[in-house]
Chain A
């Protein structure tokens, strides 16, 4: 639908809103201030954490705001964004292209890729530099280039390969060099003969024998990382593992082109190709769009909406997120804008599950979706994990084939979130318990120490008193002794006649002890 016309470069928008967090991982730190003029390709943030990616100015202009703006996320929540008012100059910052990447160490190459802000362009937006660093324990044998579109309708990878095959191949060569891998397999769906041909031609020019184009059947969700590896190599990535555990790294084909531009031209990731399609779009096509361009603007440039446009989806029809507004920026992970004319599932009666097992047949993770649904809906979270809930990739196949029209994936998301919450609560309560125990121990220790201090003090006092009384008896003269004896007598008399003060009634032993102590002290000071 969207492959009829070539990729069109979207015109420069007046304003770019670039969310800081467009990738999986930690946030990056802002380098620019409000009012500052930035050049195209100039870094706006720097990634401090390992799993992180910086963002760059997609065009030259003035930073007008650094604040929270609505982000393209299913929650519709806002996130910190840098807003640039473009000046139309498109003035590039100083770029540092690498003349011969083979002269650089792999760490240096990774660093360039990292500073170029490159993330996986298939949709997940995982920082590419991290993926290219499997570590010495994981020798990489094969690099798989995922050229299977994630979902129906999406054609941005297809168009990229048709038009920029050389960039793709060059990017793959850099990846092979960086990882020290033996071969690269470009997995391309068999419904994209033009793209495959373009790649073959490009390969013929470079004469690189380590890169192979492999046709795979067009069955959703073959574009899923683990599914693709299975189709190509018949190896299964362990449930709790990563592709690097079996010596494989998968990169999206769009990412390879971005790597090519970062190394050979020093260009950071500031634009991407995006499919704008669906029955609700007047001119479906692929657009080369600057990151931060408003979705509304992109759609406008595709002829705008048809009259009956009802739904805007970021991503594909199976796993995409439905957006509540089009005043949202395009981000690095956004591969498709799909505008549908019918509101899905409306007026469709959800019936009880009749256990037909269609979902089991189509599940690419080999799960029992129907049992998962059963236990998730009854909040049976232990059972649901027994049935491997966390191996679900939320591809949506089960919900699509369900004759009872049960929104199955929603149940799995619910169960996953609930389990995460429980886990968090459990950790919190564990933490609280540890803290409580620690406090209790501290209080006990403090009490012991106080008692100990008191005891020592008492001992010292007694010792002192003894010493002093010995000293005083030796030095005292007879006259003073007589006066003392008289005073003592008066005191004794007084004590026997006067009423004892009320606040010293009902004293506890401890208090009495303290009073005695004080009295003794007084006595001692008097005798001095």
Chain B
């Protein structure tokens, strides 16, 4: 009897890129639902818009690069980029801003480097940074999270704002948007107010909620839950979020202990802004993160460090995108210098040292 021959191993692999992406999307659902609950229709519109644009751009780029469209389009990576981006953008961002950010993410963040697996920078963060640098004003159009004293738009009104750029009749931008707690805190601290003063403030006080701001604490909590599930399923490596959150906590705690009135408390850091989304869903993007165990610790810690620095002294209220991109740059270096000790080798054998044989 004749047989076909193949190379070992002969087991069928169980996992696939598609499974990974699907699980990540699945884990995002609770946090996303909370975001929709607190921030309204804008989230859904942004997400749908970003997904459609991302898939379209992806198909276009794959076509132009003569790649098989179907398997790559269905791998889920474009959808994931779109969803992350949509969650990071303000809910009332005009449609063209979402489009520009998404198109930039897919083209500049991904395909110009060679598509899936070859991009050095996190595509969603590339899109976000292009948007925030180019259109800072539009990037502040956040919706108040189910807060009293503000008007909450229905679906039609939201649609009009996003696609028409018009504030519904009888309302002003101030009535429908609001600075995020992180932004507020930064501005007010800049005005020499103490943390306590800000929390007691009659206008700003209520938005801070219990730990991370009304809505934000729930959203972050649910993203944390989803992320823990991912780590348990080993879809993501726990070291990156652990390094990130650990560093952020350590730094914010140290500074808050040193001066609690002018440094944000660690609890707030951990539960405000996009921190949990960043720690479990953005920083863990395998393509752009370090791959070695020690490298991942450093990678996560680096992001935590930069987030704290930018939040505390930088020009932006939340520095996640910049922190991630900065650490993305270091991954080749991290991978090389944090190589694990191979079986039967000594720790002293640093990668470079093996080259010595050639010189001799």
Contacts and interface: CB of A to CB of B under 8 A. Distances in A.
A311 B343 CA distance: 33
Nearest to B3: A312
- Residue from A348, A403, A404 having most chain B Cβ neighbours under 10 A: A403
Contact of B5 (A323, A366, A399, A405): A323
Interface string B5-18: 11111111111110
B348 to A, nearest CB: 13
Interface string B305-333: 00000000000000000000000000000
B116 interface: yes
Nearest to A406: B13
B343 A317 contact: no
B20 interface: yes
Nearest to A403: B15
- Residue from A230, A344, A357 having most chain B Cβ neighbours under 10 A: A357
A174 to B, nearest CB: 30
Interface string A297-321: 0000000010001111101011111
Contact of B8 (A342, A356, A396): A396
A310 B116 contact: no
A368 B291 contact: yes
A322 B12 contact: no
B184 interface: no
A315 B8 CA distance: 10
Nearest to B9: A396
Interface in A204-249: 226-227, 230, 236-241
- Residue from A315, A318, A368 having most chain B Cβ neighbours under 10 A: A368
B66 to A, nearest CB: 15
Interface stretch (A128-136, A177-185, A382-390): A382-390
Interface string B269-312: 00000000000000000110101110010000000000000000
B20 A325 contact: no
B21 to A, nearest CB: 9
Contacts of B335: 368, 371
A391 interface: yes
Contacts of B291: 355, 357, 360, 368, 370-371
B137 interface: no
B188 interface: no
A186 interface: no
A138 B9 CA distance: 36
Interface residues of A, number: 73
Contacts of B355: 382, 386
A402 B289 CA distance: 17
Nearest to B346: A238
Interface string B337-354: 001111111000001101
A344 B7 CA distance: 9
B6 A357 contact: no
B117 interface: yes
B117 A226 contact: no
Contacts of A511: none
B343 A226 contact: yes
Interface of A: 74, 76, 226-227, 230, 236-241, 296, 305, 309-313, 315, 317-326, 338, 340, 342-345, 348-349, 351-358, 360-361, 364-368, 370-371, 382, 385-388, 391, 394, 396, 399-405, 407, 409-410, 413
Considering the complex of A and B, which 5 residue pairs feature the smallest CB-CB distances, nearest first? A352-B117, A396-B9, A239-B344, A403-B15, A322-B5
12 contacts: A239-B344, A296-B1, A305-B1, A310-B4, A319-B9, A355-B117, A358-B234, A365-B342, A365-B344, A371-B335, A382-B358, A391-B344
Interface of B: 1-17, 19-20, 68, 71-72, 75, 77, 114-118, 234, 237, 286-287, 289, 291-293, 296, 335, 339-345, 351-352, 354-355, 358
